[in-house]
Amino acid sequence: MNQTSGRIFDELAKVLTNAAGAAQGMREEAETVIRGQAERILNDLDVVQREEFEAVQEMAAKAREENERLSERLDALEAELAALKAKPKKPAARSRAKPKPKP
């Protein structure tokens, strides 16, 4: 009986191993099917892919930096213009020539 029970346990171990392998295969197949369905749904929804989103995000950051740089430059030019307008104007130099008499 001792040898018979050992054989039973060996066969049971083989069955359980095969069942675990089959379960693993079913799990992988289910993941593949679910992943395919999810990709199809996302494509139908016209969702932006991560790479595209990151590229646009980087472009927006560069545009913001350029905008800030141009804004600072504009502020400096406006300040310079205001300073030039605030300076008192020099009177025009009078010519020393005598005006021509009227006939």
Which residues, in sequence order, are CB contacts of 56 under 8 Å at separation 6+?
Answer: 48
pLDDT for res 94: 62
pLDDT for res 1: 47
Residues 42 and 57 in one domain: no
50 to 24, 45, 55, 58, 77: CA distances (angstroms): 30, 15, 9, 12, 41
pTM above threshold 0.75:
no
Which residues, in sequence order, are CB contacts of 48 under 8 Å at separation 6+?
Answer: 56
Residues 11 and 35 in one domain: yes
Q: Express each pLDDT in 66-97 by its tens digit.
A: 999 999 999 999 999 999 998 877 666 665 65
pLDDT > 90 in the chain, percent: 49
Residue 65 lies in a domain: yes
Q: Which domain holds residue 33?
A: 1-47
Residue 101 CB coordination number (10 Å): 5
Residues 40 and 9 in one domain: yes
pLDDT for res 96: 63
Residues 38 and 4 in one domain: yes
